[in-house]
Amino acid sequence: MKNKMILLLGVCVCICQIYLSCKRKDKPLPTFISMNKEKNDLSDDSIPQGLLFDGIREGLYLSYYPNGMVYSAITYKNNKIDGIAISYSEIGFITDWRYYKDDKRHGLAVSFDSFGNIYSKGCYNNGKRIGIWEYYVDGNIDVIVEYRNGKSKILKDNQLEPPLPDGTPRHSYNE
């Protein structure tokens, strides 16, 4: 049901973009791209689908697993990811929910495991993690990290391993 809703949303966005592009004389008519698996030039097995305006991705762009389930729903502006980008597991659970601005992560980001359980959440600013990030294990907060000025500081860590003698954590959450 969730995949049908996303598909319906994608169709509505496509129709709106086609209508708006037809009203503007300076924009070319869009091309609808739908590739089958054999024509896919991506490194994964996803099957992309969306609109191109004069060869540039605009609006909602959907990719599908070979089994027909939605792989990702990404919004583009001027061929760059701009807005929400959602990735799904092969069985339909959301695995990533991120906002982008001008092709860089910007704003809320939430990750889930392949069964839909939260794994991490925090914010990005211009592609860099900022503020408080929470990391979960089995639905419970396991680690809390504060990101400030490109550096990270662990505020809470339920791991059994103590930090290294210099105070550096044994596991890193830097990008």
Tens of each residue's pLDDT in the chain, 175 residues: 555 554 444 544 445 444 444 444 455 545 555 544 444 444 455 667 787 777 888 888 888 888 888 999 999 999 999 999 999 998 889 999 999 999 999 999 999 987 788 999 999 999 999 999 999 988 888 999 999 998 999 888 876 555 666 656 555 554 4
pTM assigned to the model: 0.66
Query: Tell me, what's the pLDDT at 113?
Result: 86
Q: 55: burial class by Cβ within 10 Å (0-12, 13-18, 19+)?
A: exposed
65: Cβ–Cβ under 8 A, 6 or more apart, which residues? Answer: 45, 46, 47, 71, 90
Distance CA 116, CA 112 (A): 5
